[in-house]
Amino acid sequence: MANKKPSKKNNADTKKIIAILTVILVILLIIAIILISIKGMWNDVIELIKSLLGEDETPSGEPPSGNKPIPSGVAELHGDILEMRVLDIGQGDCILFILPDGQVMVMDIGNENGTTSHWDDVIVGALTELQITTIDYLFLTHTDYDHVREADKLVERCDIKNFYLPVADIGTSGKWGDVYNKALAETYVENGVIKKSKINYNVGAYQISGENWIMKCYSFDEADYPSIKKSSSALNKNSVSPICLLEYAGRTIVLTGDSNEKNEPYLINKGYFNNVDADILKVAHHGSKTSTCMDFLNKIDCEYAIISCGAGNDYGHPTPEALNRLKTYRDLIPDDDYNGFAQVYRTDEDGTVTVQIDENGVINLIADENASKNTTTGTPIDEIDSGEIIQSGQTVLICIKHDIDYETLLAA
């Protein structure tokens, strides 16, 4: 008997089923892409594909996984390290700290309204690189957009344990209201327990501390604290920025937010900066002419300055007046440090600026986009004797950098 040919109806039904399955698969694929994007899992997916393809092995001659090439002009560091990154986010402030006990702090997180946001490329990039999902301290100096623009996004992305906030009316701006409400509602999980995040206010003199580090913070006393609301002047809004001294291993970093000619003299007169011999200054208010006054420079006695500002910004920051003060400053009382500022860094010219301090007080300063300004208070790795034995996790990297035979070095 001859085989019966499939009917046209059966063919049509088969095509219909295939079409339906195809549509379902496309829908599922679209949903998967959306979920992966929302959860920020693309890096995980890429790593999984690489591992399935056998591409996870370290190529011959490259540093071991997890280690980054050592920049030129800096020293090898030892023990627990404090790292501060003044991120290049344009006209604004965002400073990321990895503290020596492993805690994480973010001080301000924004940039100028109406400009391109650097949330995705710079801020998320740094958080992803350092695998940060929990922030121990989110410190906002004042309510201006260029300091709080991305704070609500950070609260959505990470668990925040402690907030340090200015005292300001919730209606100061729409952005500030969003940030403040998210801070009030924030919780985090610790050891399987949901906890309420703690809200602290930047009033008077107070301290934040951890293992072997301390940050001393100074602002207006409650009786003198300006009333901050939508109609407040820029002078008052900026002046509530605390001035903080972050101390570790005998070194001090001075952090200023947008401090200005109103709060700097106030805090100087309180005696908070008597007998301070600091090292690194985050210049106030992006280098405005009314901030970082000479009396303040004389009190803190720093050797390195970092200005966070955007290229070609409408404010003319850093101003000639501020740059001239940094250029002409000289120690009132000469000491063993550099007399004046040894180096001034600018994020608009030098990119992200990283400060590293090890447990012996050695300081590295690294300019991402200007290696010629990399510097150290220790012995630069470029000057290490090839016969010297380096007892650290960076030994392999140093061997590669200086063309030293690793086995020979270990046997020495």
**DSSP letters spanning 64-95:** PTT--PPPTT-B---SS-EEEEE---SSS-EE
Q: Per-residue confidence at 47, pLDDT binned at 50, 70, 90?
A: low
Mean pLDDT of 162-190: 97
CA distance 83 to 102: 10
Structural domain including 318 reads 82-379
107 and 169 assigned to the same domain: yes
Mean pLDDT of 103-124: 95
| Nearest C-alpha neighbor of 310 from the set 149, 91, 144, 126 | 91
Does the structure show a pLDDT above 60 at 300?
Answer: yes
Q: Per-residue confidence at 178, pLDDT binned at 50, 70, 90?
A: very high
Does the structure show a pLDDT above 60 at 406?
Answer: no
Does the structure show a pLDDT above 60 at 2?
Answer: no
Does the structure show a pLDDT above 70 at 138?
Answer: yes
44 and 136 assigned to the same domain: no
pLDDT value at residue 27: 86
pLDDT, tens only, 15-37: 778 888 888 888 887 777 766 55
Mean pLDDT of 130-136: 97
- This model's pTM is above 0.75: yes
35 and 102 assigned to the same domain: no
pLDDT value at residue 10: 62
Domain-located, residue 297: yes
384 and 268 assigned to the same domain: no
The bridge status of strand 304-307 relative to strand 343-346 is parallel
Poorest-confidence range of 66-80, 233-247, 255-269, 270-284? 66-80
Domain-located, residue 44: yes
41 and 99 assigned to the same domain: no
- What total number of domains does the chain contain? 3
**What does pLDDT average to over the chain?**
86
Question: What is the phi-psi region of residue 54: left when phi exceeds 0, alpha when psi lies from -120 to 50, beta otherwise?
Answer: left
